[in-house]
Chain A
Amino acid sequence: MNEEVGLQPYLMLGALLFVCGVVCMATKRNAIGVLIGVELVLNGANINLVAFARFNPVFEIEGMVFSLMVIVLAAGEAAVALAIVLNFYNNHMTVDVDTAEELKG
């Protein structure tokens, strides 16, 4: 119970979150579901960054600063994405991404 957890379990958790986010982006038909997938991807990447910051002494501060930047930028990106989704909903009365095909062909 008292042994140390190495770097690899954290990276595998990050990979799991990343893959869940990718599958979420691919399968959800609701536009906000796609946004939820994007958040999962960014969280997986953040776990990777902070794990490397903890286990690699050279990367100590940079990992944390990098993940702070990612968190802030993700918040901004979620705001703009939601504004776009709301515009789409106001124009088409639906949030189904399968119906967003006016630019096709």
Chain B
Amino acid sequence: MASPLFADTSFVWFVALAVIAAGALIGFMLVSAIFSVWLERKVAGRIQDRLGPTRVGGKFGWLQTLADGMKLLIKEDIIPDAADHMLFRIGPYIALVGSFMGFLALPFGLGVVAMDMNVAVFFMLAAMSSEVFGIILIGYGSGSKWSLFGGMREAAQMVSYEIPMALCVIVPVVVAGSMNLSQIAIQQSGGLWNWYVFHDPFTFGAFWTYFTCAMASCKRAPFDLAEAESELVAGFHTEYSGFRWLAIFMAEYGSMVAVSGIASMMFLGGWSTGLPVEFATLFGGFETLQFTIGGTIVDLGMGFGNTINVIVFIFKCWFLVFIMMWVRWTLPRLRIDQVMMTCLKYLVPISCVLLMGVSLWQLLLPFWLNDVCRWLIFGLSILGLAWFLRTIVTFASSKPGEGMPGMWRTTGLPGYQGAKQTP
């Protein structure tokens, strides 16, 4: 009797499917990394009141990352004398593999998933936790004490923040009743009000707490002590240049996209647009658009619907990555003791309270009260979002020097001559 896992498929077809899936995921990860690098520089520039890359590839510098990549590929391969050669070489790739493994269980659309597991969320968190060892090897293998300090700090931070991250991830799992990410996304389909972020106050809090822990786990500012440019030169990757540095950064941006993927899948509805229609099943199911290859049925209508789903999901992931970048270039950096205190004294108790709260909410509340609360939170969130957008538009359309509250105006100190004194 053939193994139940691989029955009915021939060896070549299986390997071909695996290669195609892995290639698509790596392609997505690389394109995300390229896009994220460009977006980071543009966002950093705009927040710092300058333009960012504008020269390579047109007015907006679209091809800047390609130029950076080519520069990094032709750089000299330097390995310090005091470095452990083997560990120096393999460290970045362990981080990259750990970051990539998380994408294996992430569904991009209805059925568009590399490995549909019953423990998808658990597997994603587990696979991304193996990136820590890559960071340690990067820090140790460089042979310099600054890199070692940065690597150890970073490992302590990543490992500590896994706890509130996992606790916050359990909160929507309790609401959904399953760890299967496809199931969680399907349960949130059918309208913007079904998204778990609006489900009850505890999942609403869990979204923000999870996002904070995800930012800390990806060593993004304000938690980026490990690569603190003003303190440790470049932290744990000081001695890395060229393609190995690129691998480290692909791992970092890959984890950012993966945790954003988890956040959008569990809280923001996954691949659903917010409209009460599921595109894959809308266009799928017509026999005229179906044909068979190698034992599997290919449905073109469903493929077209799923394309919309995949685009919406990728847009949500990249939007959350943009928010991470926005926070990075706005907030100052925390010290390492402040980072650990935030985790242990604030985020862990908050996550425990959220978990207990959502369990009691699911058990005790009658359904009608749950619906009332859901619509209340949904309405308040829409109002909050509207106020936020209005604030942004007001500040963006005001003339330079007025409208933005600044330190000089509020303190009344002489110094900044440019702002008008509004009454």
User: Footprint of B on A, CB under 8 Å?
Assistant: 1-5
Contacts and interface: CB of A to CB of B under 8 A. Distances in A.
B413 interface: no
B2 interface: yes
Contacts of B3: 4-5
Q: What is the interface residue range for chain B against chain A?
A: under 10
A33 B8 CA distance: 45
A5 B1 CA distance: 10
B368 interface: no
Interface string B1-39: 111001000110000000000000000000000000000
10 contacts: A1-B11, A2-B2, A2-B6, A2-B10, A2-B11, A3-B2, A4-B1, A4-B2, A4-B3, A5-B3
Interface of B: 1-3, 6, 10-11
Given A2-B11, A5-B3, 8 more contacts: A1-B11, A2-B2, A2-B6, A2-B10, A3-B2, A4-B1, A4-B2, A4-B3
B360 to A, nearest CB: 26
A5 B6 CA distance: 12
A5 B3 CA distance: 8
Contacts of A1: 11
Contacts of B6: 2
Contacts of A4: 1-3
The 5 closest A-B pairs by CB, nearest first: A1-B11, A4-B3, A4-B2, A2-B2, A2-B11
Nearest to B4: A4
Contacts of B1: 4
A95 B3 CA distance: 47
A5 B11 CA distance: 15
A5 B2 CA distance: 9
Contacts of A5: 3
Contacts of A3: 2
A5 B4 CA distance: 11
A67 to B, nearest CB: 15
A63 B1 CA distance: 22
A2 B1 CA distance: 10
Among A1, A2, A3, A5, the one with the most B-chain Cβ atoms within 10 Å of its Cβ is A2
Nearest to B3: A4
A56 B11 CA distance: 27
Nearest to B11: A1
A4 B5 CA distance: 10
A4 B4 CA distance: 9
A2 B10 CA distance: 8
A1 B6 CA distance: 11
A78 to B, nearest CB: 14
B390 to A, nearest CB: 51
B5 to A, nearest CB: 10
Contacts of B10: 2
Contacts of B11: 1-2
Nearest to B6: A2
A2 B3 CA distance: 8
A88 B1 CA distance: 55
A88 B3 CA distance: 50
B253 to A, nearest CB: 30
A65 to B, nearest CB: 15
A94 B3 CA distance: 51
A64 to B, nearest CB: 12
Nearest to B1: A4
A4 to B, nearest CB: 5
Nearest to B12: A1
Nearest to A4: B3
A2 B11 CA distance: 7
A7 to B, nearest CB: 12
A4 B6 CA distance: 10
A1 B3 CA distance: 11
